[in-house]
Amino acid sequence: MGEAPAFLVEDLKSKLTNGFHLKSKVCETAVDIGCNRTYVIGDPKSESLAVRVFDKLTNEWVFPIVLGTKPKASKGHSAVVLDQDRVLVIRGDTSSDDGFWFLEVNTLFVREQKARLGTEVVAWSKGVIGEAEKPIVISGPSGVGKGTLIAKLMEEFPLMFGFSVSHTTRAPRNNEKNGVHYHFSERGAMEKDIDGGKFLEFAAVHGNLYGTSVEAVDVVAEKGKRCILDIDVQGARSVRASSLEAIFIFICPPSFEELEKRLRARGTEVEEQIQKRLRNAKAELEQGASPGLFDHILVNDDLENCYDKLKVLLGLTDAVKTTPKSELVHVPLEHTGLKIGEKIVMKCSAAEQERFVLDLGSMRGGAPGRTRGLRICAAEELSDSELGFLG
Ligand SMILES: Nc1ncnc2c1ncn2[C@@H]1O[C@H](COP(=O)(O)OP(=O)(O)OP(=O)(O)O)[C@@H](O)[C@H]1O
Ligand SMILES: Nc1nc2c(ncn2[C@@H]2O[C@H](COP(=O)(O)O)[C@@H](O)[C@H]2O)c(=O)[nH]1
């Protein structure tokens, strides 16, 4: 690995304490976390936000496994340590919906992945301004009508919802398209991606492997839509245990006989599979009722009736059919910032007269999902000390 170029580390380090400054074309920043580690973010050649770590105990560079959806390359960025767990990275010359990223170095998710992979790990999480709606997890036994309800929701509210396309090792049915209904995968390839930390959750269901990749959820969020996950109860349990905040809905059949009727009438499974799915349904129905896992239980008796109830609990009325747009702020390439408590006071170039405060006080979530609940407020809302910084 070799020794750290001391001049580089010292030079980069000196730029950052609680305050930070981005002049155009600063594509490499360094932050110290703890006594022994310097995280260097960025690569001036490619402008990518690559990450490497200098371990001061061994005097070696470490190249961590980088999880989560990575930020796009950037002409310049600034970085400030928020706590021992994460660094806020601000991409210059971008809009606030793609400007704020969190490099997680020691959060619970990162610690879990370090233990699992036995190597250095960091994870990216994109900062979301405002109260982006929570993803919706829909579970229930095979044949209960989850897919039917989700299809109705997507048809009525195409701008609001996006489907998380899972990976599965099951063979496609006649009407199923790769990349639309599922990413149909070879078991070996899927297991490799699971080992590589690319999955938010996975489970063996009815003899096949199914899983939700971090990317599947991110792709939906990237379009500004609310993500719907159709996953089994084991998957719901894993998501519940993760940092992804979601609403959990369990769909029940009116009776076991009706479930069997629907599964047979769908005509997609051979008898052996039907029997297996019905056996598993018994256990799933028991687990669905276990306390603390699901926020809502809906009985899918009459389809229209159940769909109406689903819309009510998601707070959907006829008046709400588009995605609410939060106000966007431009983050210029040149900016100066100061961390004061849970606020980042941003002063952009004097000529542009742009000043705002990024309030991290309500932030939640984080890798492997998004960091949500950031708030941007105007300079008028600043306290005297914050105004002092702005000069
Ligand atoms: N309320 C209902 N009344 C009668 N039939 C229904 C109802 N809801 C769904 N169905 C039918 O039941 C069958 C199974 O529904 P669907 O495929 O949506 O189930 P699913 O829960 O998504 O199953 P899987 O978990 O196997 O993907 C379909 O043929 C669908 O048209
Ligand atoms: N844990 C997960 N379960 C999933 C996922 N995608 C689908 N499923 C569940 O599998 C069964 C069977 O689905 P089918 O398409 O073969 O009928 C069903 O209960 C789905 O909810 C996933 O990514 N993770």
> What are 279's two structure tokens?
């056996």
Task: State if residue 146 touches ligand 1 by the CB under 6 angstroms criterion.
Answer: yes
Which atom from ligand 2 is nearest to the alpha carbon of 141? 19
pLDDT tens-digit profile, the chain (391 residues): 344 444 344 444 434 445 566 655 678 899 999 889 999 999 988 889 999 999 999 999 999 999 988 999 988 899 999 999 999 999 988 888 889 999 999 999 899 899 989 999 999 999 988 766 789 999 999 999 999 999 999 998 888 899 999 999 999 999 999 999 999 999 999 999 999 989 999 999 999 999 999 999 989 988 878 999 999 999 999 999 987 889 999 999 999 999 999 999 999 999 999 999 999 999 999 998 888 899 999 999 999 999 999 998 887 765 444 434 456 788 888 888 888 888 888 887 655 456 788 999 989 888 877 888 898 887 666 666 666 655 5
Angle between helices 256-266 and 271-288 (to 10 degrees): 140
Report long-range pairs for 270-275 (Cβ below 8 Å, ≥24 apart).
273/206
Q: How far is the CA of 263 from the centre of ligand 1 (A)?
A: 7
Q: Of 116, 173, 187, 279, which residue is the catalytic one?
A: 173
pLDDT score, position 302: 97
The pairing of beta strand 247-252 with beta strand 296-299: parallel
> Is the ipTM beyond the 0.95 threshold?
yes
Supply the residue whose CA is at minimum distance from atom 4 of ligand 2: 231
pLDDT score, position 249: 97
| Sequence-ordered list of residues with C-beta below 8 angstroms from that of 45, at least 6 positions apart, any chain | none
- The answer to whether 72 and 352 are in contact (CB under 8 A) is no
pTM, full prediction: 0.72
Q: How far is the CA of 256 from the centre of ligand 1 (A)?
A: 13
pLDDT score, position 131: 65
Task: State if residue 142 touches ligand 1 by the CB under 6 angstroms criterion.
Answer: yes
Distance (Å, rounded) from C-alpha 159 to C-alpha 324?
A: 10
Q: Of 111, 170, 262, 266, which residue is the catalytic one?
A: 266
In angstroms, how far is CA 116 from the centroid of its own chain?
20
Q: Among residues 211, 205, 96, which one has the least CA distance to residue 141? A: 205
Task: State if residue 266 touches ligand 1 by the CB under 6 angstroms criterion.
Answer: yes
Torsion angle defined by CA atoms of residues 239, 260, 272 and 205, in that order, rounded to the nearest 10 degrees = 0
Q: Of 277, 355, 370, 372, which residue is the catalytic one?
A: 277
Task: State if residue 231 touches ligand 2 by the CB under 6 angstroms criterion.
Answer: yes
Phi, psi of 387, deg, nearest 5 = -65, -35
Task: Identify which of 262, 301, 307 to mutate to test ligand 1's pocket (most ligand atoms within 8 A of the CB).
Answer: 262
pLDDT score, position 294: 95
pLDDT score, position 356: 82
Task: State if residue 265 touches ligand 1 by the CB under 6 angstroms criterion.
Answer: yes
Task: State if residue 211 touches ligand 2 by the CB under 6 angstroms criterion.
Answer: yes
Is 266 among the catalytic positions? Answer: yes
Q: How far is the CA of 130 from the centre of ligand 1 (A)?
A: 35
Task: Identify which of 149, 266, 277, 278 to mutate to test ligand 1's pocket (most ligand atoms within 8 A of the CB).
Answer: 266
Is 173 among the catalytic positions? Answer: yes
Which atom from ligand 2 is nearest to the alpha carbon of 277? 12
pLDDT score, position 242: 86
pLDDT score, position 317: 60
Is 237 among the catalytic positions? Answer: no
